């Protein structure tokens, strides 16, 4: 099958990619390796040509999963991975030093079973290291043929400009959905000014806008259990927004997940959402959104549900926010 395509810097990818994180990380009990392999291959069968992973996910396990089960189909997809954010001595942390980046990259290549990653991101900004130094490490990796394009994840417009002055940045990856609008503060404008593609992670709001959450009783090790928007008392307020969103999706003739993805796609031809899932049925539902066209009235009604300040709770806990460089919204600044 084929899907519509979009450009991310020098790369042409399917209009909807696959975020591979939740096959190995972050959302409670992991699927079996067999089920994960089946989903990855089915994604390629459906026409997805953009797979996104990172050193952090499963502490390298996600890269190993991709290396073992789909690298025999390497010519069919663009491969993206990330460095800097990882587990160090059992603790989540940041290391943006050039020597650490070089080491992480070499380990990633080994886990993936390849000698080249098409798009390699700085996963987060390590404020202890000038971003110019971290980008410089990726420039040297590109010159050595180990990576192709250079990307940044969860970074502010000011940081993007500093990085872009060292070497052209191909992609910015940041959370973006109808209920996470931080990129609209400054990052999307900076990307368009500089000709940088935008990759939207969690485009269905970590399952919330896929109608997958009805309470805050999460499995052990599910990161949503410590995210303010996903727990009480904020969750009950937000579920009322979901009720309206669900009704709007039905009126539009699509599922809530498709409405969310359609909204993200409608934000510009330079935006590529990368939803993640562990379900073949949900994967097929997500891919079908690439062919849905929402009219301006539907887009406006989505925006009317998620007006500034409508969502209760900040995006991240204080500890997680400390690792984020992306701009805060005005209502977040009021409570920061």
Residues acting as catalytic residues? 57
**What whole-number distance in Å separates Cα of residue 2 and Cα of residue 32?**
28
Neighbours of 28 (CB within 10 A): 13
**Chain centre distance of CA 243:** 25
What's the chain look like in SS3? Answer: CCCCEEEECCEEEECCCEECHHHCCCECCCCCHHHHHHHHHHHHHCCCCEEECCCCHHHHHHHHHHHHHCHHHHHHCEEEEEECEEEECCEEEECCCHHHHHHHHHHHHHHHCCCCEEEEEECCCCCCCCHHHHHHHHHHHHHCCCEEEEEEECCCHHHHHHHHHHCCCCEEEEECECCECHHHCCHHHHHHHHCCEEEEECCCCCCHHHCCCCCCCCCCCEHHHHCHHHCCCHHHHHHHHHHHHHHHHHHHCCCHHHHHHHHHHCCCCCEEEECCCCCHHHHHHHHHHHHCCCCHHHHHHHHHHCCCCCCCCCCCCHHHHCCCCCCCCHHHHHHC
Strand 197-201 vs strand 171-175: parallel, antiparallel, or unpaired? parallel
**What whole-number distance in Å separates Cα of residue 185 and Cα of residue 332?**
12
């Amino acid at each position: 099958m084929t899907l519509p395509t979009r450009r991310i810097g020098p790369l042409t990818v399917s209009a909807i990619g696959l975020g591979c994180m939740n096959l190995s990380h972050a959302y409670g009990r992991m699927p079996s390796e067999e089920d994960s392999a089946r989903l990855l291959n089915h994604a390629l069968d459906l026409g997805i040509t953009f797979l996104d992973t990172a050193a952090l996910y499963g502490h390298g396990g996600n890269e190993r999963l991709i290396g073992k089960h789909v690298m025999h189909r390497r010519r069919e997809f663009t491969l993206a991975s990330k460095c800097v954010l990882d587990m160090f001595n059992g603790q989540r942390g940041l290391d943006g030093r050039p020597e650490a980046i070089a080491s992480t990259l070499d380990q990633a290549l080994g886990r993936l079973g390849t000698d080249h990653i098409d798009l390699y991101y700085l996963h987060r900004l390590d404020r202890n290291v000038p971003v110019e130094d971290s980008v410089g490490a990726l420039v040297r990796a590109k010159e050595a043929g180990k990576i192709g394009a250079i990307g940044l994840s969860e970074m502010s417009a000011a940081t993007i400009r500093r990085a872009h002055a060292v070497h052209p940045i191909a992609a910015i990856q940041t959370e973006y959905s109808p209920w996470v609008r931080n990129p609209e503060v400054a990052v999307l404008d900076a990307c368009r000014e500089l000709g940088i593609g935008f990759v939207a992670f969690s485009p269905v709001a970590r399952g919330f806008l896929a109608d997958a959450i009805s309470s805050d009783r999460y499995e052990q090790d599910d990161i949503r259990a410590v995210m303010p928007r996903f727990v009480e008392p904020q969750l009950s307020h937000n579920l009322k927004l979901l009720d309206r969103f669900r009704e709007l999706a039905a009126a539009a003739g699509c599922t809530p997940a498709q409405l969310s993805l359609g909204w993200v796609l409608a934000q510009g031809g330079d935006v590529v959402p990368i939803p993640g899932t562990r379900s073949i049925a949900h994967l097929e539902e997500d891919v079908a959104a690439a062919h849905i066209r929402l009219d301006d009235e539907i887009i406006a009604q989505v925006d009317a549900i998620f007006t500034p300040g409508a969502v209760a709770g900040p995006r991240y806990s204080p500890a997680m926010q400390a690792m984020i460089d992306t701009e805060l919204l005005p209502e977040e600044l009021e409570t920061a």
